[in-house]
């Protein structure tokens, strides 16, 4: 079990040679024989190899579809990897695990990434099970989808390619906040580039190929390069002037651009200078009766998390009294972080507006929760909220806030169009029992659009029904090309014109939506699991589609252990050991490698093997 302990808790195998660790072990059991790091490394390789075979067998016997989230990863090994995370369900329970960290040794073209992914899927017996793939906005992923879809019979390509809603929310929020910050100066950009250029490289093929044009070029990251963001802001300002007659005075715009730099700078100083930290806490203690929050200091901004900007802004507003005392007192030399009255008002509006993004981020950051059916409805609701901010019919918001809303709408519209190109989002809405096709009518979608969605759903359903009939001696009812089901609502009858009235899909589409509370009492996937008794093909299709992840947050959680699995003091760890550590650590505790008993069973069958290179 020491090998699992080291892997799951991200400890180097040399931990077992620590004298204090050995003292603890021998204190509990004097005659205990502690394995060497070489033995643990050998055990890991054996567990990885045997578990991989068992996992392949389990996946090949599984009757449900799986989903993938794929992204690039690099770390202290000076090597690049393609992280492949698999999502699957067991009954109504969703699981996720790292399937493989694929070592990349060539330029990251879409064709090369597709080739390496297919090799991994073939090794684990998943070629026929992949239903959807979640990818970021790198340009080479378009090629990736085209290449890989030809070899995955149940993956329809771009129609079932998903994008991370949490990432999209992040991009839209950053576009909103761009009005309240300053672009990075050219000197700072050059300095950063020079610093990156001076970083040591290993001379490996991976390091040599990182600069090619067809590599991961995350469009979302490019969007928030300072120049691009500020261009979007200027476009929004021009549109607000032309369409709404909203002019932003230069003085007001300059004030707005200093809001976030001031509050994040103040928080950074408090967190990094111990004397200022102590001073702030003493000031807060003296005025605690005028402060409602339980926070002791402003939240520090983390560059890679937009919601840390929100938390920083929110706590700054809540701690206004002690912050004002500190920034107005020359003793503390914090005057450059002092907000004007206008800036405090802007900050208050900013916090109120960012709350809608924060809520959306929290909802779609849940782990192993079916949410793909809510992606488009939630983003349309976000769009409605941003339009309310932009239009400001009650004339309550400042001009800069309205411009910020318009800038955010630009980004949101861009990604909504991309999401709407994927059929899986539309089908997920229809297969949500409290939405069905009624949602599209209620939202005012055109008859042509609804007909397209219905046909796409039916084409997918036919494949599931055909697959079920091959294993069923009693074939289901044959679909009719154009049956006119009798129903009180003409709009629903046209939506089921390609199936017979007794067909389960036609029945589902022509019946009223189910009460949401009723479905949520048992759970969305459990609801469809119970429906398997009525129509296995329809329920299986619903489970496969609704089980697709709405975001890559789970994948990012899985990848987050990478830098802990190999820190900068573990330079001797081989790439093979790292890959095995990441995979086995992610498998453990899931149906792929359930518990310690299975690990012990695998190790017991090991026999005498030569140890692998230690880390």
Going from N- to C-terminal start, the domains of the chain cover: 2-163+550-604, 170-181+206-420
**Nearest 10 degrees: CA dihedral of 455, 456, 462, 464?**
-150
User: What residues form DSSP beta bridges with 83?
Assistant: 71, 101
Six-digit token pair at 449?
């659009």
Tokens standing for residue 236? 């929004």
pLDDT in the model for residue 518: 97
**Could you tell me which residues are beta bridge partners of residue 73?**
81
pLDDT of residue 196: 41
Task: Judge whether residue 237 has pLDDT over 80.
Answer: yes
pLDDT band at 182 (very low <50, low <70, confident <90, very high): confident
Tell me the average pLDDT across 484-494: 40
Among 137-151, 194-208, 485-499, whose mean pLDDT is lowest?
194-208
- Give the three-class secondary structure for 310: helix
Q: What is the DSSP letter of 371?
A: -
Q: What is the DSSP string of 125-159?
A: T-TTTEEEEE--S-THHHHHHHHHHTT-TT--GGG
Winning range, highest mean pLDDT, from 499-513, 546-560, 597-611: 499-513
Average pLDDT score over residue span 179-184: 84
- To which residue do tokens 């995979």 refer? 583
Q: What is the pLDDT of residue 386?
A: 97
Q: How far apart are CA 28 and CA 283, in angstroms?
A: 50
Q: Using 50, 70 and 90 to split pLDDT, how confident is the model at 7?
A: confident
For residue 21, the tally of other CB atoms under 10 A from its CB is 14
Phi-psi region of 535 (alpha: psi -120 to 50; beta: other; left: phi over 0): beta
Whether 20 has a pLDDT exceeding 50, the answer reads yes
Query: Which comes out higher in pLDDT, residue 613 or 112?
Result: 112
The predicted pLDDT at position 198 comes to 42
Q: Read off the pLDDT of residues 269-313 as tens digits, 9 standing for 90 and up.
A: 999 999 999 999 999 999 988 888 889 999 999 877 778 999 999
- pLDDT tens readout for residues 348-398: 999 999 999 999 988 988 888 899 999 999 999 999 999 999 999 888 999
Average pLDDT score, the chain: 84
- Please tell me the predicted confidence (pLDDT) of residue 494: 45
The pLDDT of residue 29 is 92
In percent, how much of the chain has pLDDT > 70?
82
């Amino acid at each position: 079990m020491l090998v699992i302990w080291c892997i799951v808790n991200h400890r180097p195998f040399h931990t077992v040679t620590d004298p204090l660790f050995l003292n603890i072990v021998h204190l509990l059991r004097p005659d205990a024989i502690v394995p060497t790091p070489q033995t643990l490394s050998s055990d890991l390789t054996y567990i990885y190899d045997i578990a991989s075979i068992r996992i392949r067998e389990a996946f090949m016997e599984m009757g449900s579809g799986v989903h993938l989230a794929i992204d690039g990863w690099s770390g202290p090994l000076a090597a690049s990897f393609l992280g492949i995370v698999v999502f699957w369900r067991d009954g109504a329970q969703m699981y996720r695990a790292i399937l493989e960290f694929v070592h990349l040794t060539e330029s990251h073209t879409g064709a090369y990434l597709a080739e390496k992914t297919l090799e991994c899927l073939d090794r684990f017996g998943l070629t026929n099970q992949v239903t959807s793939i979640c990818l970021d906005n790198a340009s080479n992923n378009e090629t990736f989808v085209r290449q890989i879809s030809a070899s995955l019979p149940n993956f329809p390509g771009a129609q079932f390619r998903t994008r991370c809603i949490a990432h999209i929310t992040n991009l839209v929020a950053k576009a909103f906040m761009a009005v309240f910050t300053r672009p990075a100066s050219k000197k700072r950009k050059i300095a950063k580039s020079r610093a990156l250029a001076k970083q040591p490289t290993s001379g490996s093929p991976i390091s040599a190929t990182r600069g090619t044009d067809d590599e991961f070029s995350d469009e979302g990251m490019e969007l928030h390069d300072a120049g691009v963001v500020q261009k979007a802001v200027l476009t929004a300002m021009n549109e607000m002037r032309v369409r709404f007659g909203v002019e932003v005075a230069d003085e007001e715009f300059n004030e707005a651009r200093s809001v976030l730099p001031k509050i994040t700078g103040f928080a950074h100083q408090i967190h990094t200078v111990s004397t200022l930290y102590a001073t702030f806490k003493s000031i807060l203690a003296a005025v605690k009766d005028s402060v409602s929050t339980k926070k002791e200091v402003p939240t520090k901004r983390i560059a890679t998390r937009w919601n840390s900007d929100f938390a920083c802004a929110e706590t700054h507003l809540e701690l206004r009294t002690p912050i004002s005392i500190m920034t107005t007192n020359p003793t503390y030399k914090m005057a450059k972080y002092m907000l004007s009255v206008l800036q405090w008002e802007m900050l208050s509006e900013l916090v109120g507006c960012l709350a809608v993004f924060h809520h959306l981020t929290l909802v779609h950051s849940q782990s192993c929760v079916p949410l793909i059916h809510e992606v488009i409805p939630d983003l349309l609701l976000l769009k409605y909220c941003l339009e309310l901010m932009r239009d400001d019919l009650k004339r309550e918001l400042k001009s800069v806030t309205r411009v910020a809303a318009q800038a955010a709408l630009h980004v949101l519209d861009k990604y909504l169009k991309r999401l709407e190109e994927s059929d899986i989002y539309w089908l997920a809405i229809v297969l949500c029992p409290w939405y069905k096709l009624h949602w599209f009518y209620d939202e005012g979608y055109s008859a042509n659009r609804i007909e397209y969605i219905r046909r796409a759903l039916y084409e997918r359903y036919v494949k599931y029904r055909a697959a079920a009939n091959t294993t069923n001696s009693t074939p289901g009812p044959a679909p009719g090309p154009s049956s006119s089901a009798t129903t009180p609502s003409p709009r629903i009858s046209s939506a089921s014109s390609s199936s017979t009235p007794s067909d389960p899909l036609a029945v589902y589409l022509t019946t009223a939506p189910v009460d949401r509370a009723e479905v949520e009492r048992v759970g969305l996937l459990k609801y469809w699991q119970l429906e398997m008794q009525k129509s296995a093909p329809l329920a299986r299709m619903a489970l496969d589609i609704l089980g697709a992840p709405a975001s890559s947050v789970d994948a990012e959680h899985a990848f987050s252990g990478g830098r802990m699995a190999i820190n900068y003091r573990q330079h001797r760890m081989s790439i093979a050991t790292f890959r095995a550590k990441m995979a086995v650590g992610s498998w453990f505790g899931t149906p792929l490698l359930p518990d310690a008993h299975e690990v012990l069973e695998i190790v017991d069958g090991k026999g005498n093997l030569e140890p692998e290179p230690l880390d």
